[in-house]
Amino acid sequence: MAAKLTYEDVRDLYQRHGPALLAYARSLLPDRGSAEDVLHQVFLGLLGKAELPAESRPYLFRAIRNGALNLRRSGTRMALLDEQQWLVKPQGMMDAGLEVERALRELPPEQREVVVMRVWGEMTMEEIQPCLMCRPIRRLPAIGMRWASCVRF
């Protein structure tokens, strides 16, 4: 029988994946508070459980998605995504960062999930697809048209 996850194991996972998972939860939920609540719920729920699969990222992203969708179904905190900042901007890139955040907010929800999982979760398209239970994804969504206008390479 596999050893159970200790507090230290969970804390290590949290430090490694917490920021990307928070960004993902933010893409699903209207405010940072509820996103962090779901994040904590998922990680504390791991305490005492058997070890995660070798590749833990897809599992954690799926868990965040389920937690966020459950919270949304409860209907208590449904609102448009807030204007709070999602991303830490490097010096001199504040305006560009704000544009990226605005473009993310304007994406359809499922496409926004793909971008966050791919860019900050560093997941492959093959890993993303089962999380979203969608058709195979060939490339980042609508990048050519929508993003070229707001992102200056």
Partner 1 sequence: MTLNQDDERLESYLRQFRPHQPRPLPGRTSAMLLHGRGRTRVGAAAAIIVVSSLFLLLRKPVSPTHPSAANMQQKPSIAQAISLAQLSRAAQRDPAILDAELNSLSARLLPDVRSGHGILKSLARE
Q: Which residues bind partner 1 (CB under 8 A)?
A: 7, 10-11, 14, 18-23, 26, 32, 36, 39-40, 43-45, 47-48, 85-90, 93, 97, 100, 115, 118-120, 124-126, 138-140, 143-144, 147, 151, 153
Q: How far is the CB of 71 from partner 1 (least distance, A)?
A: 16
- Residue (37 or 72) nearer to partner 1, CB: 37
Comparing CA positions, the residue from 19, 20, 24, 25 lying closest to residue 38 is 25
The span from the CA of 98 to the CA of 37, in Å, is 25
Nearest distance from C-beta of residue 118 to partner 1, angstroms: 7
Task: Decide whether 110 or 122 has the Cβ nearer to partner 1.
Answer: 122
Query: What are the angstrom distances between the C-alpha of 95 and each of 85, 99, 109?
Result: 12, 6, 23
Q: What minimum distance in Å lies between the beta carbon of 80 and partner 1?
A: 19
Which is nearer to partner 1, 78 or 85 (by Cβ)?
A: 85
- Cβ atoms 104, 77 nearer than 8 A: no
> CA-to-CA distance for 112 and 48, rounded, in angstroms?
33
We find the least distance from the C-beta atom of residue 85 to partner 1, in angstroms, to be 8
DSSP summary character for residue 4:
B
- Give the residue with the Cβ less far from partner 1, 75 or 90: 90
Cα–chain center distance at 42: 13
Q: Which is nearer to partner 1, 75 or 113 (CB)?
A: 113
Q: What angle do CA 38, 55, 69 make, to 5 degrees?
A: 25
